Structure 1
């Protein structure tokens, strides 16, 4: 996770532009702790990408992989403050970019946080994360959000 000082470095998409989430942000409990609500989740996939495990991290990174298809969800209706929270939450090794995705019976573009650093050879497992890490990760997200609120109140 990164600091709030990075907020001004990125263009924030408009509220009608979806965000493709593929890792910890696909869990409603995580979104609720970070945003104070759970936006609607629409099943989607990103062809030519994989959800890679990251060295010494519990969350994944989205990276190119020709024959792969990354499962995830589209988040719709994020507000500018919510985009800023998510941007502050993501590590500096993520880059917010639009990518093609498939949702329902349509192809569209969505923003996503793509990983730009080293990855593990294995894929990240949402099932394993849910079973072994989700409760403690949700608690960490709640603490991070409280710290962010304190930081922005004093800025």
Structure 2
């Protein structure tokens, strides 16, 4: 019997197909999910967000599944040292792993995924493909 593969809650740049394709060479299966008690916070001087605890708030994102061990290694290397891989609960039920921001520089406002998509995604994904 095989052990179930862990899933990943992606709430920032990893929820975009272009970034996943640049990093992994493919877009893993994903579906929309919510993480209660968390928010994707804007960070000072960074284009990407950090997931921080926020009682009464719900972070939206996607649940990535079917990631290989090699792909987990790529994602771990991609994430800043100020993230910690942690297990969280989902509003839809069940638990998954996600990268929680442990660094400082958290802004009061939430990260704006649509602004990122419109202004930065194309160039950002291209840079990810160069790594």
What's the TM-score once normalised by structure 1's chain length? 0.80
Q: Could you say which structure has the larger radius of gyration?
A: 1
Question: How far apart in 2 are the matches of 1:101 and 1:65?
Answer: 14
Counterpart of 1:110 in structure 2 is 96
More helix by share: 1
Matched, 1:51 2:40: yes
Deviations 1:55-97 (A, max 9, x none): 1000000000001100000000100000000000000000001
Alignment of 1:5-154 (within 5 A): 16-103=5-92, 107-118=93-104, 119-144=106-131
Q: Is the 8 A contact 1:42 1:75 kept in 2?
A: yes
The number of residue pairs the alignment matches comes to 128
Runs of 4+ aligned residues of structure 1 deviating over 3 Å after TM superposition are none
Question: How far apart in 2 are the matches of 1:17 and 1:27?
Answer: 19
What's the TM-score once normalised by structure 2's chain length? 0.95
Q: Which runs of 5+ in 2 are unaligned?
A: none
CA RMSD of aligned residues (A): 1.0
Q: Is the 8 A contact 1:97 1:112 kept in 2?
A: yes
